[in-house]
Structure 1
Amino acid sequence: MKKIFTLVTLLSFSFLTFGQNLPGLAPGQTPTEKPILHGKNWMAITGKPLAATAGATIFNQGGNAVDAACAMLAATATMWDVLSWGGETQALIYHPELKKVIAINALGYAPTGATVEFYKSQGMEYPPAFGPLAATTPGTPGGLMTMLAEYGTLSLEQVLAPAMQLAQGYPIEAQTANSIEGSKERIKEWPYSKEVFLSHLGEEREAPTPGEIFVQKDLYETLKKLVETEKEALAAGKSREEAIYAANERFYKGDIAKEIVRGTREQGGLFTEEDLANWKVKIEEPLMVDYKGIQVYKLQEWTQGPALLQSLNILENFDLKQMGYNSAEYLHTVYQAMNLAFADRDFYYSDPAFEPKSPIQGLLSKEYAKDRAKLIKDINDPKMGAGDPYPYQGGSNPFKNMLSLEGETTKEQIHLAELSGTDDPYFEAFFSGTTSIQAADKDGWVVSITPSGGWVPAVIAGRTGVGLSQRMQSFVLDEKLNPYNLPEPGKRPRVTLTPSLALKDGKPFLSFAVQGGDSQDQNLLQFFLNVVEFDMNVQEAVEAANMNSLQMQSSFGAHEIKPGHMILRDDTPVWIRSELVKKGYIMDFWPRTSGPINAIWFDWKHGSMWGGSANYGDDYGIAW
């Protein structure tokens, strides 16, 4: 799925290791594997070096951070950085003129016929992880064009130019090429995917080799149609915004939409032309909590983002700094706070446009968090379940009778502890990747995006070159798991994707995001605490050793749980390990456990930006 699986086999340099200092370093200094990025004018960070270059190109053409972020989004989708053009886009944008954070919901929804009854009639316990029946409607094209039209400054033609050059042919990276080779048997099930991905069909290696020029003719033609439509609209006297929306109309209601529907239904999917025509990007109000004078923003509960906010509310009741970075007490306390927040995520989070609505006001209540914090004991509770937030918002819980069942996991859900290691399919699902995009400019625009969906192996929709999302798998079919997150046409599944922005003193403080499925808000929570509680700079914080809990439902596949299971970095001292065993944990140890996180910290004292880019694989940043 993403570099997390291949790179955990690499040797890890010991840094930020429980207060140790290395020879030649002054006390308090800590080396990092990658340098901090310093910029005065702009910063562009994402999951691929070529895509970061696309962002830098747009900045050099005079674009703002939204323009650059859209160019990086287009490039990463074209390069299959664990997403494609048929996936979904989630973004937070700081608008410097309005001095507010804006949320972009460009997640596709369930197509016509996608119901609990339909999937059960197919003999399924969950919607499938792959294939045409896993696909929500494409969201990324609409998300990109909406952000560009509303908040950008350049034309669609300018912003798509790097991606179109990539579609005409680029030297494919080993990560993507090898992912294609490893998935080739599934890819062969879908004729259009086989034609695009398997350039050496019938040979021993059927995927492209690393460095080979990878060409996507159909995708190039699709992007070319969007640019042609924009040009025609401009020639007819339309404004920049109207011309971009004309291209958006062609994708969702014109000949592109018709081919997406035809190609999807040919391969067994459910899309109708009405499904694409009726889907719209939502510009929303984000959710926010205040943590010690810092306002932390996340997307609404159609993502897992509020779990980070809930965790912060719970952790406010503890003296984390006094516990010490990654002490046994600290790791246990953070693990337990996440248990409480993610148990609520698993039971309550869903698309707020549908009934029943998640009780988000109660879930984010400081009083609710205080009462949840009282449940944290000295040892791990493997049956930690959801709480009842309804009284904290003056309501009555319609599913209160299910709460006693929610903490009980079936034998099928519990993934046995001996099935450990990075080659375990459970880990592949739990840490399913995406990419992240961070952009900021001297005028104050800040953009944080976690796009995803349509990763390899993806079903390509006919002759469009568009790889379809696999996001239907994040629905559940059993209301005892989550009575709010059951599939129905037009409904968005609850996803893991979760960009972050934080403000302090009314100005941007941090912009941060990470790939990694259910691990995302765990790693982002610890990154934030590394900066705020332990005074790490942004690069130290993205590389620092984190802990990952597996005591929550996986959002993918069969939604398994591993109660009490914890992943730690392999340089964790033996005395910390011993204390955690006493507290009831089962531990795995990996060379890297931090993400990969990409982030920007704003230095208002000096008028500059500090960028942190993960020391995993391909993530890369450029600044000026």
Structure 2
Amino acid sequence: MKLTVPFLCLLLCVPFASAYDRITGQPFATRSEVLASNAMAATSQPLATQVALDVMKRGGNAVDAAIAANAMLGLVEPTGCGIGGDLFAIVWDAQTKQLYGLNASGRSPQSLTLDYFKQQDMTKIPSFGALPVSVPGAVDGWFMLHERFGSIPMTAILAPAITYAREGFPVSEVIAYYFQLNKKRIGEYPNFADVFMPTGDVPKKGEIFANPHLAATYEKIATGGRDAFYKGDIARAIAAHVEAQGGFLSYDDLAAHQSNWVEPVSTNYRGYDVWELPPNGQGIAALQILNVLEQYDIESMGLNSAEYVHTFVEAKKLAFEDRAKYYADPEFSATPVDFLLSKDYAKQRRALIDPNKAAARYEAGAYEGDTIYLTVADQQGNMVSLIQSNYRGMGSGMIPPDLGFVLQNRGESFSLEAGHANVFAPNKRPFHTIIPAFITRNGKPFMSFGVMGGGTQPQMHAQIVVNMIDFGMNLQEAGDAPRILHSGSSEPTGHKMKDGGYVSLESGFSSLVRRGLTDRAHVLRDAPGAFGGYQAIMRDLKTGVYYGASESRKDGHAAGF
């Protein structure tokens, strides 16, 4: 074949990192959305997406498929989730035509007190080991969802993950990378090698990995229900192992656990109702950011302009100061959600932003008075937004023998500062970073989405909304667009922001924009790999067609039928 000059120019003149040669779309690396008429699933690992679709093809609904995908992710992506962790979900129920929120996060040990940490001269709860372990809420969350919305037996829902756990699966690239990272963090703890290093090392990309211990645990849960996990041999094994490692989580803590149905909360952004769950999670921070940004003509600023980045970062700082002060378990501290989400309060906060200079820090407003995300939609119109995590990658490092999973370290997120809303107390839920999101328009389901990644999440939720509504991107482009990350905020653990923190920009922002930010006194710092992981499903309100999008920064996959 003879190459013409124009064809050679296409090969040689266009940077391969860009998407300039796309027929449609934005001038950054992206790909087409996935479209399907009947059902859609988007998860952070292709095998989990296929499991969700298989469950729906066999008669299950979106909730059944979401549970199946989550169980599968606990096997194929234990570097980000598992039944040793917590779960949050927002469900659009097509029958009642409304949203339901589930908080399936666990509480701290009843026998552990703030005085213990003081006696140990601790100013912060450690990241790893037995002390940060709280009750894992995910399994109870599965059964709460299933009892209310499920349509097929739990044995059928967990069967695919059990089969893969026994027979093995090829490990994908990003997950293989995080296996190596977690080996350095927690590889020396008991039972890690037994579960995750059967060949002498953690699995590499393309290697077949099986987890027979997890298969057996899933079988017990499938046949014995949630009590098999919280009141049976599994609970006794968890409690015994934590106690042996110097921790406090007990059988009674597990047996007493109960998830809660909660009312999602929202703000209207330019005609779209954006929904999050209330604290102890951080979802309302995304809504606070959007309330401030709504007061600006974002579209006229231009995508990725220094003016827009500056405005976004300052809005984020304002929201995160409130996050640090107010967000906590509502059973212990009444977070003023209505006040924080009011448009009047947003106007007061917006007035603090200097358009030409970054603030060193803001005070919180005065009030008186590593993770997986998945989303599934089915033929009936049900949609599920679900997020689940062990917290720092694989969690605490506490791996009860013969169970095949790691316990979370969510207790690390408590403050040890007396009087703080999020201060440690027995039987209390810690501040949580994982947040599912949903958008409705005119009372109808429009979009189910989420972004993985700690304090990254509210920032990226807001950016996804802005990318679609202000900058006119499609579902996939909104997730692939270069992202803005501000770090170093005050934290709910009691640690204060110093000197304004720093801003990290993904590749795709020009040197001119970076210079414009430093001229406004922002400190720039690279943060490779810290920009989160996105999945989303959108429904065309006229045709009923589902649009799916998946994170290009992860091993994610969206598919439908």
The answer, yes or no, to whether TM exceeds 0.5 is yes
**Whole-angstrom CA distance in 2 between matches of 1:119 and 1:592:** 33
C-alpha distance in 2 between matches for 1:560 and 1:592? 22
Matches of 2:202 and 2:288 in 1, distance apart? 44
TM-fit CA distance, 1:465: 2.2
Secondary structure at the residue paired with 1:509? strand
Which residue does 1:360 correspond to in 2?
Answer: 337
Within a 5 Å distance, the mapping from 1:4-403 to structure 2 comes to: 13-15=17-19, 22=20, 25=23, 30=27, 32-79=29-76, 80-168=78-166, 169-184=168-183, 186-201=185-200, 206-229=201-224, 247-354=225-332, 356-377=333-354, 378-390=356-368, 395=369
Measured after TM superposition, the shift of residue 29 of structure 1 is 5.7
Partners of 2:184 and 2:466 in 1: how far apart? Answer: 43
* CA apart distance, 1:561: 5.7
Change (3 A) 1:174 1:132: farther
Looking at structure 2, the residues matched to 573 and 174 of structure 1 have their Cα atoms a distance apart, in angstroms, of 29
Percent of pairs identical after alignment?
A: 34
State whether structure 2 residue 549 is matched by structure 1 residue 604. no
Name the CA distance, whole Å, in 2 between partners of 1:262 and 1:150.
32
Please report how far the alpha carbon of residue 52 of structure 1 lies from its aligned counterpart in structure 2 after TM superposition. 0.8
Q: Is the 8 A contact 2:325 2:492 kept in 1?
A: no
- Partner secondary structure for residue 318 of structure 2: helix
One-letter identity of the residue aligned with 2:539: F
- Native 8 Å contact 1:380 1:585 kept in 2: yes
1:494, distance to aligned residue in structure 2 (A): 0.8
1:511 maps onto 2:488 in alignment = no
State the match for 2:522 in structure 1. 585
Tell me how far 1:296 sits from its aligned partner: 1.1
Superposed CA deviations along residues 128-171 of structure 1, whole A, max 9, x for unmatched, are: 11122111111111111211121111110111011111221222
Post-superposition offset of 1:303: 0.6
Deviations along 1:393-447, whole A, 9 cap, x unmatched? Answer: xx2xxxxxxxxxxxxxxxxxxxxxxxxxxxxxxxxxxxxx211101112211111
Partners of 2:555 and 2:484 lie apart in 1 by 22
Go from structure 1 to structure 2 and tell me whether the alpha carbon gap of 1:12 and 1:542 turns closer, same or farther (over 3 Å shift): farther
Specify the code of the residue in structure 1 equivalent to 2:465. F
Q: For residues 228 and 251 of structure 1, what CA distance do their matches in structure 2 show? A: 11
The 1:623/1:383 distance shift into structure 2, 3 A limit, reads same
Q: How far apart are 1:514 and its partner, in Å?
A: 0.9
The 2-side partners of 1:45 and 1:540 are apart by 15
Task: State which of 435, 458, 477 in structure 2 corresponds to 1:540.
Answer: 477
Q: Which amino acid aligns with 1:248?
A: R
| 1:523 partnered with 2:460 | yes
Letter of the 1:276 counterpart:
L
Checking the alignment, whether the CA contact within 8 Å between 1:382 and 1:551 is kept in structure 2 is: no
TM-fit CA distance, 1:343: 0.6
Report the CA distance shift for 1:29/1:525 in structure 2 as closer, same or farther (over 3 A).
Answer: closer
Shift of the alpha carbon at 1:497? 0.6
Q: Per-residue CA shift, 1:300-333, capped at 9, x if unaligned? A: 1211100011111112221112222222111111
> Normalization by structure 1: what TM-score?
0.82
- Deviation digits for residues 584-606 of structure 1 (CA, Å, limit 9, x no counterpart): 11123567875321111211222
The amino acid that maps onto 1:14 is S
Q: For residue 32 of structure 2, what is the amino acid of its counterpart? A: P
- Please say if residues 64 and 152 of structure 1, whose CA atoms lie closer than 8 Å, have aligned partners that are also in contact: yes
Per the TM alignment, residue 213 of structure 1 is displaced from its structure 2 partner at its CA by 2.8
List per-residue Cα deviations over 1:352-404 (Å, max 9, x = no partner). Answer: 011x32222211121111111111112111121211132xxxx2xxxxxxxxx
Q: State the Cα distance separating 1:619 from its structure 2 match.
A: 0.9
> Which of 506, 510, 526 lines up with 1:569 in the alignment?
506
Aligned to 1:471: 410
Q: Give the Cα–Cα distance (whole angstroms) in 2 for the partners of residues 173 and 31 of structure 1.
A: 25
- Gaps spanning 5+ residues in structure 1: where? 1-10, 16-21, 230-246, 396-432
Amino acid at match of 2:261: I
Amino acid of the structure 1 residue aligned with 2:72: A
Rounded Cα–Cα distance in structure 2 between residues aligned with 1:442 and 1:175: 31
CA contact (8 A) 1:542 1:595 kept: no
Change (3 A) 1:267 1:534: same
Is this contact kept in 1: 2:323–2:491, CA < 8 A?
no
Q: What is aligned with 2:8?
A: none
One-letter amino acid of the counterpart of residue 334, structure 1: F
Aligned length: 542
1:462, 1:557 → 2: CA distance? 35
8 Å Cα contact 2:42-2:376 kept in structure 1: yes
2:131 is paired with a residue whose SS is: helix
Q: 1:316 to 1:186 in 2, by over 3 A?
A: closer
Q: Hey, what's the Cα distance between the residues in 1 that align with 2:524 and 2:350?
A: 24
User: In the TM superposition, what is the alpha-carbon distance from 1:266 to its structure 2 partner?
Assistant: 1.6
**SS across alignment from 2:524:** strand
Q: Contact 2:82–2:388 (CA<8 Å) still a contact in 1?
A: no
8 Å contact 1:340–1:386 — kept in the other structure?
yes
* Distance 1:253-1:24 versus aligned 2 partners, 3 A rule: closer
Cα displacement (A) at 1:122: 2.7
Shift of 1:510: 1.4
Instruction: Give 2:11's aligned residue.
Output: none
Offset at residue 468 of structure 1 (A): 0.2
State the one-letter code of the partner of 1:63: G
The whole-number CA distance in structure 2 between the counterparts of 1:45 and 1:365 is 33
In structure 2, relative to structure 1, the CA distance for the partners of 1:12 and 1:348 (3 Å cut) is farther
Q: How far off is 1:263 after superposition?
A: 2.0
TM-score (norm 2): 0.91
Output the CA distance in 1 between the equivalents of 2:185 and 2:463.
36
Q: 1:556 to 1:164 in 2, by over 3 A?
A: farther
Give, in whole Å, the separation in 2 of the partners of 1:306 and 1:50: 32
Match of 2:430 in 1: 493
Aligned to 2:401, which of 462, 467, 477? 462
Name the aligned partner's letter for residue 546 of structure 1: R
Q: Deviations over 1:212-261 (max 9, x none)?
A: 332322222221112333xxxxxxxxxxxxxxxxx112211122211221
Per-residue Cα deviation, 1:16-75 (whole angstroms, up to 9, x for no partner): xxxxxx35757x765753321101100011111111111111011121111111111111
Alpha-carbon distance in structure 1 between the residues aligned to 2:492 and 2:559? 33
Write the distance in 1 (CA, Å) between the matches of 2:514 and 2:520: 10
Classify the secondary structure of the residue corresponding to 1:485. coil
Which amino acid is 1:470 matched to?
Answer: N
2:403 maps to amino acid: T
List gaps (5 residues or longer) in structure 2. 1-14
**How far apart, in 2, do the equivalents of 1:556 and 1:616 lie?**
29
Contact persistence 1:294–1:503 (CA under 8 A): yes
Specify the SS of the correspondent of 1:553.
coil
The CA RMSD over aligned residues, in Å, is 2.3
User: CA 1:591/1:434 → structure 2, altered by over 3 Å: closer, same or farther?
Assistant: closer
The alignment partner of 1:33 has SS state of coil
Q: Secondary structure at the match of 1:492?
A: coil
